[in-house]
Amino acid sequence: MTEKLLRLGNTQWFVLVDIEKEEIIDKYFRPQVEKDIVAMQKTLKQYADPSVMEEDLQALIWLVNNYKDVTAKRKARVIAMVQAMWEAYQNESELYSGAQLRERLERTKALLGKMV
């Protein structure tokens, strides 16, 4: 599929077409695309950043490992529990929807970049 984004005259409307099939794939209004990007960015601020979550997990493991008044056996149990909670958390639908939204945001930004 060969896609091309075409501007309609001097308007802010764009049409994405498949050149080979000679079909319209979608139409876009630039101000709406810009609003969509702002809305996605605002929504993503409500999600936890995956890299921050990983740093928090590392900090928690460090705290457990450096706790002096506990046995090695108990540290191992707590680390195993933290690992199990992390794995359960990774299957959280919010992480998945956040990843999907980040990917959609990148595609939308790329589309906006082509609108000249």
Mean pLDDT to the nearest integer, 68-80: 86
Tokens, residue 64: 């457990």
What is the C-alpha separation between 63 and 58, in angstroms, rounded? 9
pLDDT at residue 64 in the model:
87
Instruction: Write the CB contacts of 76 (distance below 8 Å, at least 6 apart in sequence).
Output: none
pLDDT tens digit sequence for 9-45: 999 999 999 999 999 999 999 999 999 999 999 998 8
pTM attached to this predicted model: 0.66
What is the C-alpha separation between 106 and 86, in angstroms, rounded? 27
Tokens, residue 103: 């990917």
- DSSP E strands in the chain: the ranges are 3-7, 13-18, 23-29
What percent of the chain stands above pLDDT 70? Answer: 92
- Residue 101: pLDDT over 90: no
Mean pLDDT to the nearest integer, 79-105: 77
pLDDT at residue 19 in the model:
92
Task: Classify the phi-psi angles of 4: left when phi > 0, otherwise alpha if psi is within -120 to 50, otherwise beta.
Answer: beta
pLDDT at residue 69 in the model:
80
Q: First CA to last CA across the chain, in angstroms?
A: 22
